[in-house]
Amino acid sequence: MSAQPRRRRIEVEEKGDIAVVGFIDKKILDEQNIQVIGEQLSELVDAEKRTKVILNFSNVEYLSSAALGKIIALNSKLKKANGKLVLCNIRADIKEVFTITKLDKLIIIVNSEDDAIAKF
């Protein structure tokens, strides 16, 4: 296994005490990238002690079920820490993935980033 430098796959913007997370990749499909995204999302809660997190999907065009697993894990982690996860700016095709799998019943999904901030 080559020791590749772990590239940042998410961008975190601070809005008060809320972490607004954007994704670098348009396609969240590759196994390795999804692993790294999962680790970097976990670090927000475990290392940085974030409890209010927004995932902004404005840059995302494709998303696989493996990526859904990482979002579910983040949601569970935040719930355990008495925090909250809100998803926003999800294009219709991707939103359908959440609807089919009924994850829209588990995770809060709103239209805009402003709507997401209003959820905290």
Partner 1 sequence: MANESEIGREHDFHIVIPSDPMEVRAVQDRIENLLALHEVPSRDSFCVKLGMEEVLVNAIKHGNQMDRSKTVTVSVRITAMEFEAKVTDQGPGFDPDDIPDPTDIENLERPCGRGLMLIRHYMHEVAHNETGNSVLMRRKFNQPEE
x/- string (CB under 8 A) for partner 1, residues 79-118? --------------x---x--xxxx-xx------------
Question: Of 10 and 34, which CB lies nearer to partner 1 in the complex structure?
Answer: 34
Residue given tokens 């913007």 in the structure block: 13
Q: Which of 6, 15, 26, 76 binds partner 1 (CB under 8 A)?
A: 76
Residue closer to partner 1 (CB basis): 51 or 64: 64
Residues 39-68 that bind partner 1 (CB under 8 A): 62, 64-66, 68
Tell me how far the alpha carbon of residue 97 is from its chain's centroid: 14
| Stated length of the chain | 120
SS3 content of the chain, % helix, strand, coil (to 5): 40, 25, 35
Residue 56, CA distances (Å) to 2, 3, 75, 118 in order: 31, 30, 14, 14
- Summarize as ranges the residues that interact with partner 1 (CB under 8 A): 29-32, 62, 64-66, 68-69, 72, 75-76, 93, 97, 100-103, 105-106
